[in-house]
């Protein structure tokens, strides 16, 4: 074919934008946020430099800044005052997330508020629901935890959340939450399911951030093995059948093969660039080894190219600033 076919003809600098297939927009990005009921000042997360836990009193202000940067969606995590065996503070009317959602919706109603629905920040053992005796020893109990998730999701909707995002990886979580939301008159609240969530070592820094580390065992009996591709796709298929509105692949960057397969299932897909993905880039940047803007935009572009409609990323605010500077 050479020299007739010269791909460099269309790569002239001036023409490059005309042929760019994938463009990151601020509308693709969701900002994860941590609200901590026990603090009164922002607290930097040591394993995630540049990321903070905020007091509930700052919820409106933080969301105003996000809107001013041109972003429109946040994903909320809470750190409660008290934890117990069954995660009761996760669904209290005056729980940390419930208060935070109300504050945001009163002051910045235009922002889309998505809440993480899980119990690991609220249980004293740090697992994602109710634990008890199983054939595997003491472990997360599936069906008893479903009621807890349903209760958490309904309490978030009652506080004004626009969307709920269950992350516990229990079998049947989407169906249980859908039924409970519908039963309480919230049939219009969408569910973004953490449908394909791997049991990843990249969640390490998050467990600092959200104080959600577990006191025994691990999460491999509910989260997915990184080695299993077919099962990963099946997880998202089942959640679609149960009524998920958006499915998710998490982590993002090292699971792009799964992401592209899940995107072909037909529903909108979110990808979560997780804490460890943020911290790896940040650490290298702080050592002067990587160009932060270039690397971050490359990772986001590739995640979108692989099929993500939405990207949850701790770099959302930086990316918005970089995109705004280019306008
Ligand atoms: C809790 C939850 C985790 C993350 C989101 N929700 C951690 C875990 O499952 O242990 C990880 C997010 C991140 O690492 O940024 N269910
Ligand atoms: Zn959890």
Atom from ligand 1 closest to the CA of residue 77: 6
Q: To test the ligand 1 pocket, which listed residue (206, 224, 252, 315) has its Cβ within 8 A of the most ligand atoms?
A: 206
Average pLDDT value for residue range 277-282: 98
Distance CA(48)–CA(282), nearest Å, equals 8
Q: What is the pLDDT of residues 183-227, one digit of tens each?
A: 999 999 999 999 999 999 999 999 989 988 899 999 999 999 999
Q: Give pTM, 2 decimals.
A: 0.97
What's the gap in Å between 119 CA and the centre of ligand 2? 5
Ligand 1 atom closest to residue 223's alpha carbon, by position in its atom list: 9
Structural contact between residues 305 and 21, judged by C-beta atoms closer than 8 angstroms: yes
Instruction: State in Å: Cα 188 to ligand 2 middle.
Output: 25
* Ligand 1 centroid to residue 17 C-alpha, Å: 36
Which atom of ligand 1 is closest in space to residue 204's alpha carbon?
A: 14
Taking 90 as the threshold, does the pLDDT of residue 327 lie above it? no
Q: How far is the CA of 264 from the centre of ligand 1 (A)?
A: 25
Question: Smallest Cα–Cα separation from 119: which of 161, 165, 82, 152?
Answer: 152
Taking alpha carbons only, the member of 174, 178, 196, 199 closest to residue 187 is: 178
- Residue 131 has a pLDDT of 96
User: If you take atom 7 of ligand 1, which residue's CA is the nearest one?
Assistant: 203
Distance 186 CA to ligand 2 centre (A): 23
Nearest protein CA to atom 8 of ligand 1, as residue: 203
Rounded to the nearest 10°, the torsion over CA 19, 22, 23, 26 is 170
The model's pLDDT over 135-172, given as tens digits with 9 standing for 90+, comes to 989 999 999 999 999 999 999 999 999 999 999 999 99
Pocket of ligand 1, beta carbon within 6 A: 116, 118, 120, 128, 167-168, 203, 206-207, 212, 219, 274-275
Distance 3 CA to ligand 1 centre (A): 51
pLDDT recorded at residue 1: 84
| Cα 272 from Cα 112, distance rounded (Å) | 17
Any catalytic annotation for residue 197? yes
Interval 70-102: pLDDT, tens: 999 999 999 999 999 999 999 999 999 999 999
| 327 upstream amide cis, omega within 30 of 0 | no
Flag whether pLDDT at 36 surpasses 90: yes
Taking the CA atoms of 290, 291, 294 and 297 in sequence, report the sign of the dihedral they define.
positive
Residues 234-260: tens digit of each pLDDT:
999 999 999 999 999 999 999 999 999
Check residue 105 and give its pLDDT. 98
* pLDDT at site 23: 98
Adjacent-strand bridge partners of 53: 34, 43
For every residue of 54-79, DSSP letters joined together read EEGGGHHHHHHHHHHTT--EEEEEEE
**What is the DSSP pairing of strand 112-117 with strand 43-44?**
unpaired
**Nearest atom in ligand 1 to 197's CA:** 9
Which ligand is closest in space to the CA of residue 129?
2
Of the residues 83, 99, 105, 197, only one is catalytic, namely 197
Give the model's confidence band at 57: pLDDT under 50 very low, under 70 low, under 90 confident, else very high.
very high
Percent of the chain with pLDDT over 70: 100
Q: What is the DSSP letter of 265?
A: T
Domains parsed from the chain with CATH numbers: 24-248 (3.20.20.70)
Q: What is the number of the ligand 1 atom nearest to the C-alpha of 202? A: 14
**Measuring from atom 11 of ligand 1, which residue has the nearest CA?**
203
Q: Catalytic site residue 250?
A: yes
Q: Which ligand is nearest to the CA of 204?
A: 1
**Cα–Cα dist 247/253, whole Å:** 16
Considering the candidates 83, 250, 282, 304, report the single residue annotated as catalytic: 250
| Average model confidence (pLDDT) across the chain | 97
Residue 136 has a pLDDT of 85
- pLDDT reported for residue 112: 98
């Amino acid at each position: 074919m050479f020299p007739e076919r010269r791909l460099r003809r269309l790569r002239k600098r001036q023409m490059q934008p005309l042929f760019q297939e994938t463009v990151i927009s601020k509308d693709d990005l969701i900002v994860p946020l941590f609200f901590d009921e026990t603090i009164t000042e922002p607290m930097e997360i040591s394993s995630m430099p540049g990321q903070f836990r905020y007091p509930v009193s700052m919820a409106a202000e933080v969301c105003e800044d996000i809107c001013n940067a041109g972003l429109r969606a946040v994903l909320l995590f809470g750190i409660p005052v008290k934890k117990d065996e069954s995660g009761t503070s996760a669904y209290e009317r005056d729980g940390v997330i419930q208060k935070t959602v109300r504050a945001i919706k009163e002051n910045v109603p235009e922002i889309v508020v998505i809440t993480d629905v899980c119990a690991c920040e609220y249980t004293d053992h740090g697992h994602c629901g109710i634990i008890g005796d199983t054939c595997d020893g003491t472990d997360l109990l599936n069906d008893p935890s479903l009621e807890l998730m349903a209760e958490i999701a309904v309490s978030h909707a009652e506080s004004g959340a626009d969307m709920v995002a269950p992350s516990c990886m229990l079998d049947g979580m989407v169906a249980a939450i859908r039924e409970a939301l519908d039963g309480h008159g919230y049939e219009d609240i969408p569910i973004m399911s953490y449908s394909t969530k791997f049991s990843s070592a990249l969640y390490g820094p998050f467990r600092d951030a959200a104080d959600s580390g577990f006191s025994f065992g691990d999460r491999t009996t509910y989260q997915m093995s990184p080695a299993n591709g077919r099962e990963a796709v099946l997880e998202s298929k089942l959640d679609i059948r149960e009524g998920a509105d958006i499915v998710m692949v998490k982590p993002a960057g090292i699971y792009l093969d799964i992401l592209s397969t899940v995107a072909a299932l037909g529903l909108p897909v979110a990808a979560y660039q997780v804490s460890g993905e943020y911290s790896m880039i940040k650490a290298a940047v702080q050592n002067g080894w990587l160009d932060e803007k270039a690397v971050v935009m490359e990772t986001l572009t590739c995640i979108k190219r692989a099929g993500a409609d939405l990207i949850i990323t701790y770099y959302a605010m930086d990316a918005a600033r970089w995109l705004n500077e280019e306008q």
